[in-house]
Amino acid sequence: MKKRIITALRPSNDGHQFVFYGDCCSGIPGKPFEHNFSRVNGALQRLCPQPEFIVFLGDHIMGAYEKDHPLEAQWQHWLKEEMRWLDTDRIPLYHCTSNHDTFDTVSECVWRNQFPGIPRNGPPGQEGLSYWVRRGDLLLVMVDTSYSGLGGPGHVESVWLDATLTAHADARYKIVAGHHPVFPVNGYAERPLWCLMQAEADVFWAVLVRHRVLAYLCSHIIAFDVQDHDDVLQVCSGGAGTNYGPGGFMGEGEYHHYVQASVDPGNFQLQSIDVEGVSRETYSKPIRFPSK
């Protein structure tokens, strides 16, 4: 039986529609997370129309938690097998670093080798880890929240971010993406385990507010969650296939899903779509541009 198409939220002619998701912790053939991720991707392939681009919010692979599987092999399975359905020449895929993917200097080197096409326009030392991409009137900034040079997972840089947002002040839509939440999700509040360190998070969020960033996209927590703080959204999507945190650190999460977003001069709309193709939750926020 042919599966039904999933209707995407549609922006006006002056807008964009895209998908973001994260946390499948896969890359290992035959494991349950691979099956879950496949089901999420199956639902994503039914989205009509297909997104302009996709953002993956980190924890692509299991990483060091699967010591019998080298990082390079995990990445190759993820890229060549699990994501072979995606034509990235037609639909670009932008990647975020994370605690499973880039947990030390060696894994950062592996990341750079696996993603040679990532722009090297990040802050000193984070070239190929943090970066920005301009898509017309939309600016997408990917920040590394696990950089070894800052102390590892739960830390973030804000000086380069501030300068990047300043340089692209003309962008109508500004979106920042990283792995760790700034604000606790579903009660997971320990820092830096589940959220960015408080002092760094405060500075980071102040930069987003000052530059009128539309949203900060993150994952790390196995949930779909939207919070509005000072007119900037934190949107968490950690439903790409992980069932629980490693070693029992996190209990079973919410439903597996991806998030489809639509943004235009009037609204920012979101819908979380589960593996059956059902739109489980929706969110809409009017956009207010500053007067000139």
Sign (positive or negative) of CA dihedral 175, 177, 182, 188: positive
Distance (Å, whole) CA 150 – CA 141: 18
- Whole-number pLDDT of residue 132: 99
Distance (Å, whole) CA 292 – CA 281: 35
Residue 118: name the closest of 140, 137, 149, 99 by CA: 140
Distance (Å, whole) CA 112 – CA 21: 21
Provide the 3-class DSSP secondary structure of residue 182.
coil
Domains with residue ranges and CATH for the chain: 14-286 (3.60.21.10)
Q: Are 207 and 189 in contact (CB under 8 A)?
A: no
pTM of this structure: 0.95
Q: What is the mean pLDDT of each run of 10 residues along the chain (292 residues)?
A: 86 94 96 95 98 98 85 97 98 98 97 98 98 98 98 97 99 98 95 96 99 98 96 97 63 83 97 97 89 48
Distance (Å, whole) CA 85 – CA 44: 11
Residue 122: name the closest of 137, 136, 108 by CA: 108
Distance (Å, whole) CA 246 – CA 244: 7
- Whole-number pLDDT of residue 252: 60
